[in-house]
Amino acid sequence: MSDNRPRFGPPHRPPPFLERGTYIQRRVMDAARLLPLLGVFLLALPLLWPAGTEAAPATSRTLTYIFGVWTVLIVAAAFLAYRLGRGEGARGRDAADG
Amino acid sequence: MGKRVLLVEDEPNIIEAIRFILNRDGWRVHTHSDGRDAVNVVRQTRPDVLILDVMLPGKSGYDILRELRTEFAEAELPVLMLTARGQMKDRELAERAGASRFMTKPFSNADMLEAVRSLAGA
Amino acid sequence: MSTLNILIAVCATYVIFLFLIAFMAERAAMRGRGHWLRSPVVYTLSLSIYCTGWTFYGAVGNAARSGLEYVTIYLGPTLVMVGWWWVLRKLVRIGRTQRVTSIADLISSRYGKSNTLAVGVTILAVIAITPYIALQLQSVTLAFEVFANEAAAEAGTAIGQAQDQTALWVALGLALFTVIFGTRNLDANERHHGVVMAIAVEAVVKLTALLAVGVFVVWGLGGGVSATLERIDASALGHWQMNGGRWVGMTLLSAAAFLCLPRMFQVLVVENDDEGHLRTASWAFPLYLMLMSLFVLPIAVTGLDLMPVGTNPDTFVLTVPLSQGKEGLAMLSFLGGFSSATSMVIVAAIALSTMVSNHIVMPVWLRVSGGGAKVSGDVRHVVLLSRRLSIVGIVLLGYFYYRLSGGGEALTAIGLVSFAGIAQVLPVLLGGIFWRGATRTGAMAGLTVGFGLWLYTSFVPSFGAGMVFSEALLSHGPLGLYWLRPEALFGIQGMDPTLHALLWSMSLSTITFFVISLITFPAPLERLQAAQFVSIYQHTGGPRSWTGGVAQTEDLMIMTQRILGSHEAQALFQREARRQGLSGDLPEPTPEFLELLERELSGSVGAATAHAMIAQIVGGMQVSVEDLMAVADETAQIMEYSARLEAQSEELSRTARQLREANRKLTRLSVQKDAFLSQISHELRTPMTSIRAFSEILRDSAELAPEDQVKYASIIHDEAIRLTRLLDDLLDLSVLENGQVNLNIRQGRLGAVLDRAADAAMASEAGRKLTLVRKAKSEDFVLTTDLDRLSQVFINLINNARKYCDADNPRLEIRVFRGEDRIFLDFVDNGTGIAAEARDLIFEKFARVSDQRAGGAGLGLAICRQIMRRLGGEISYLAGESGAAFRVILPAEVAMAAE
């Protein structure tokens, strides 16, 4: 009698350990999330520099710094976009939202 | 005489009474109390007159009669129907089923005797 | 030929060239060869409408005034693009899955498809963007003026009042272009291939122009990179002198505006063709922005060095090359600025006109025309007309603003006021896509507060003292309320005006939005939409291409789920897929299937709406506002109505079932009642027959043997008793049924009562031998009730078992057990029991399960039932036992504790 009762298994859960590729893909997504925060930090940094006094750094140096950060952000974003794109193509839609 | 009557009835006291009345008049009375095999019993005993109660265990008197009337050999058999429900509806039902006569319980012994005699003589 | 005339000729040629590009792109798209039109590069370039005439000219002016601050306007969008994984990805996904047509549509859709909210956002956008459009016209006019002055200086004549005419002609030309290419293809996706292609080309032109001027300045005039840097350090802008608040505030503001500006939303979300494009744009667009801003500071410093004091720094991009006699370069630079201005106006006009038309004009038109847009072509025509009129209206509004404001303000200032206005949408937008608890009322309140504060602290004061707000009001507050001074709210003084406005409007609107959302409860449709928006990734698959039948079917699926519920929708689609012989769950959108689907949907939302909804996805018909409104209203109503209907129909069917049941019983009962007289007649006549027959025999037969006389007399006697008993039963039942019964309440042990009943039942000779199975212990308690009546019930049950139990060795088990408030006595025999259909009849009068003559008149159980009712208990047939089983239930209060 009790054997006839329908059994409900545990709800479907992803396996606790992901295969290497998926794991790396997840970390790439984390990096994509962190990148703008890094950008905010780096771009807010000049605010701590002395300003308006003689000790203030020359504009050319600030200019170089800001455009340097800018370039770093662009290169990092391009790298992440490339990795994310490759991952997407390989795995389809399953892990699109990490 | 020695004519045979088959009485199909399930109340033992009524059987006793009718048997007594008819025996005294010189009839041989066979009795049967079950409706289900009543038709077979009629075929085997081939009575001169059949007294048939309506309320029988297993099968109603009307059904038995209808079955008998469809068989050629028994089509002419005189049948006296007895019923304890004295309504017009029952009388009609009995006539339609092919009863020769119809009597309502309780009946007088003389009426019963007269009915059986006239059915046998007809 | 003067420079001015050449300029006009070049300009005209350029415009014709743009028309051609847009036209060809449109044609290619229509012929299905437009795949290359939709590359990530084109998408990235189309984003460049962020860089308007304001940024083209104004950035240099800004740099000349406040140094490096100008980069914040580019850094904000850079951070948003680099952080696309957070917000943009979600926005684009929502925009695509929910078929959003504008930012007002997105917000309205998220908050329960509220048209009020859409109207609010639309009005806010129009008010905030109109100055911005004026700004573009002004920048073009300013540029013309530079050349005109040059020409006038050459010719030695005074320039006429040509400015206003220039602005008007530009405005009309832009309106024409936008009407032609912006309202050309009214497909559901609101994508404009021609426009996007044209602005992509313009993006290249403006970047090239600015880079060319920059290269000329750095290498042509400045003598290389290091020399230019030295020159910068030597200038007035040579030292880092950033106001921290402005640095952060401007970055934040530009990031917010980048997300919220209707034209940015248009190119980012609405025109987006493939989520993958966003990935490319995430780095390519920041690169574009960096290149755009790379030479701004050098140009500014060079301009300050070379140009005479008093030259408007906003025009350095033009005046510096002109002053060096590089007219060709200046011309290119002019085209760059022209491109920046025109592309912005075109896309802004498209975005705003969509909003104005969909959320304001169409609802009004529908109401005025009685809402009866039955014919699809009719609506389509009206939508087109309304869009076109809206475009012309918006561009002209910008023109009039330009005329009225006189075009005096520095470009950057107007731009920032606009930015701050449109940024008010940000809390509601982000709250909507990340927070399920955001409600319509909260959004409405937040927007109102933000909008109001922006008007008060930023927009109106921007006209200058004495225009709308009097000098006194600005310096002393309204009605002398010092704390409410528009530019120093709550006593915060000396703060940058933009920052001040931003701080108050954004913080207070955000707080209002959250608090009101927390204390209000969303409508069902809002909650549905909230779930869909916030967890958009769970509702849709990963990025996928937007082409092919499956994509369309998925859309149909999503829509069907929203209407039928996911379970039904999935079942429907699976069934169809199986019918088509496909292995997956998504069928091909064949005409038959669409027809079927439409029928299914029309059951829920009405035929017209269902038709419109399917047509919207499958294509071939424009989304009419009527559809949107109908869906918005109907869905909410239907959800409530159908829930009520469901409850009602359930109750109805329950009642119907009960009625049917009652009717069936009545029919059976009436047959039985009809038979009642005939039954009574039968039951009475049978014993009377014997009595009459034998009494006649006794009377008429003198010669009877004495033993026969005794026998017949005793038959008469027995039958007379039987008659009496029958009459007793009938009277008993009648008394019980009429409630005239006097109960004789006494105390006694249940065991004893059962003993007596068993003895009485077994004593009668009729019936078979019956084994009783009892448990003395369970019966060992005292009852306070009418013991005789109870005993009568027991006798009846035991007798019934004797008469009707058809087992070889009849056995009756009496089980007694006590529940919480009741006592149960089960009488279960080992026979075959009573057929299910007869179970509810056996308690009726004269009911006998079979024709079997068993000595009773069929009143026993009817009497039992009446007795039990009188005793406060009940008797019922106990289903589920193998034999016949009756359950007698007594209320617990008749029992006393076992002694």
DSSP assignment string, C401-429 = HHHHHTT-S-HHHHHHHHHHHHGGGHHHH
In this complex, do C685 and B106 lie within 8 Å of one another by their Cβ atoms? yes
Structure tokens at B85: 């429900």
> Dihedral of CA C3/C4/C5/C11: which sign?
positive
What span, in angstroms and rounded, lies between the C-alpha atoms of C595 and C611?
9
Asked if C25 and C197 count as a contact pair (C-beta separation under 8 A), the reply is: yes
CATH 3.30.565.10 assigned to domain C741-896? The reply is yes
pLDDT of residue C186: 52
User: What are the distances in angstroms from CA C623 to CA C180, C187, C553, C610?
Assistant: 19, 8, 18, 12
Strand-pair partners of B83: B104
- A83 is a domain residue: yes
String of b and e for C7-33 (b: at least 16 CB within 10 Å)?
beebbeebbeebbebbbebbebbeeee
SS3 label, residue C583: coil
Low-confidence ranges of chain B (pLDDT < 50): none
- How many angstroms away from the CA of C857 is the closest CA of chain B? 13
CATH 1.20.1730.10 assigned to domain C3-408? The reply is yes
Mean per-residue pLDDT over chain A, rounded? 73
What span, in angstroms and rounded, lies between the C-alpha atoms of C372 and C624?
12
What span, in angstroms and rounded, lies between the C-alpha atoms of C107 and C533?
10
Q: Which residue of C has its CA nearest to A83?
A: C279
Test the B interface: residue of C686, C688, C695, C714 with most B CBs within 10 Å: C686
3-state SS, one letter per residue, for B46-69:
CCCEEEEECCCCCCCHHHHHHHHH
Q: What is the enclosing helix (H) or strand (E) of C764?
A: none
Q: In chain C, which residues have their Cβ closer than 8 Å to the Cβ of A42?
A: none
Please tell me the total count of domains within chain A.
1
Q: What is the enclosing helix (H) or strand (E) of C853?
A: none
A and C touch per CB criterion (3+ pairs under 8 A): yes
What span, in angstroms and rounded, lies between the C-alpha atoms of C130 and C395?
8
What span, in angstroms and rounded, lies between the C-alpha atoms of C181 and C196?
10
In this complex, do B87 and C851 lie within 8 Å of one another by their Cβ atoms? no
Asked if A81 and C85 count as a contact pair (C-beta separation under 8 A), the reply is: no
pLDDT of residue C861: 84
Instruction: Find the CATH number of the domain harbouring B37.
Output: 3.40.50.2300
Residue C175: phi and psi, rounded to 5, are: -60, -40
Q: What share of chain C is helix, strand, coil (3-state, %, to 5)?
A: 75, 5, 20
Asked if C426 and C509 count as a contact pair (C-beta separation under 8 A), the reply is: no
| C330 residue type, one letter | A
In order, the DSSP letters of C200-250 are HHHHHHHHHHHHHHHHIIIIIIS-SHHHHHHHHHHSTT-B----HHHHHHH
Q: Which residue of C has its CA nearest to B22?
A: C697
| Touching chains, C (3+ CB pairs < 8 A) | A, B
What span, in angstroms and rounded, lies between the C-alpha atoms of C487 and C470?
13
User: What are the distances in angstroms from CA A49 to CA A52, A55, C251?
Assistant: 10, 9, 18
Q: In chain C, which residues have their Cβ closer than 8 Å to the Cβ of B35?
A: 851
C214–chain A Cβ distance below 8 A for any pair? no
Asked if C594 and C349 count as a contact pair (C-beta separation under 8 A), the reply is: no
What span, in angstroms and rounded, lies between the C-alpha atoms of B31 and B3?
14
Asked if C585 and C574 count as a contact pair (C-beta separation under 8 A), the reply is: yes
Test the A interface: residue of C80, C231, C247, C279 with most A CBs within 10 Å: C279
User: What are the distances in angstroms from CA C760 to CA C326, C794, C798, C865?
Assistant: 133, 10, 10, 20
In this complex, do C692 and B107 lie within 8 Å of one another by their Cβ atoms? yes
pLDDT of residue C872: 85
| C480 residue type, one letter | G
- How many angstroms away from the CA of A96 is the closest CA of chain C? 5
In this complex, do B106 and C689 lie within 8 Å of one another by their Cβ atoms? yes
Residue B102: phi and psi, rounded to 5, are: -135, 130
What span, in angstroms and rounded, lies between the C-alpha atoms of C216 and C371?
61
Q: In chain C, which residues have their Cβ closer than 8 Å to the Cβ of B86?
A: 681, 685
Structure tokens at C161: 């009042």
A41–chain C Cβ distance below 8 A for any pair? no
What span, in angstroms and rounded, lies between the C-alpha atoms of A2 and C734?
50
Closest residue by Cα to residue C221 from C279, C304, C291, C161: C304
Q: Which residue of A has its CA nearest to C285?
A: A74
Structure tokens at C159: 């320039």
Q: Are strands C895-896 and C782-786 parallel, antiparallel or unpaired?
A: antiparallel
What span, in angstroms and rounded, lies between the C-alpha atoms of C645 and C635?
15
B and A touch per CB criterion (3+ pairs under 8 A): no
A74–chain C Cβ distance below 8 A for any pair? yes
Q: What share of chain A is helix, strand, coil (3-state, %, to 5)?
A: 65, 0, 35
- A4 is a domain residue: no
What span, in angstroms and rounded, lies between the C-alpha atoms of C888 and C863?
13
> Is A33's pLDDT higher than 70?
yes
What span, in angstroms and rounded, lies between the C-alpha atoms of C479 and C494?
22
When CB atoms are compared, the residue of B10, B56, B84 closest to C685 is B84
C239–chain A Cβ distance below 8 A for any pair? yes
pLDDT of residue C607: 46
What span, in angstroms and rounded, lies between the C-alpha atoms of C209 and C231?
23
Averages of pLDDT over runs of 10 residues in chain C (899 residues) are 75 87 83 74 90 84 85 92 90 80 84 82 90 85 82 59 70 83 60 84 92 91 85 78 82 92 89 86 94 91 85 86 87 90 88 83 70 46 81 89 68 76 92 89 93 87 70 70 72 76 90 92 74 69 34 68 69 81 72 71 52 59 43 54 67 76 74 68 83 88 83 87 83 76 83 87 74 85 86 87 83 85 87 77 66 58 86 84 85 62
pLDDT of residue C602: 56
In order, the DSSP letters of C72-88 are HHHHHHHHHHHTTTTTH
In this complex, do B57 and C682 lie within 8 Å of one another by their Cβ atoms? no
- A78 is a domain residue: yes
What span, in angstroms and rounded, lies between the C-alpha atoms of C861 and C710?
35
| Touching chains, A (3+ CB pairs < 8 A) | C
Residue spans per domain, chain C: 3-408, 741-896
Closest residue by Cα to residue B14 from C722, C677, C846, C848: C722
What span, in angstroms and rounded, lies between the C-alpha atoms of B51 and B42?
11
- Domain of B115 in residue numbering reads as 4-121
Please tell me the total count of domains within chain B.
1
- How many angstroms away from the CA of C678 is the closest CA of chain B? 5
pLDDT of residue C781: 84
pTM: 0.59
What span, in angstroms and rounded, lies between the C-alpha atoms of C532 and C454?
31
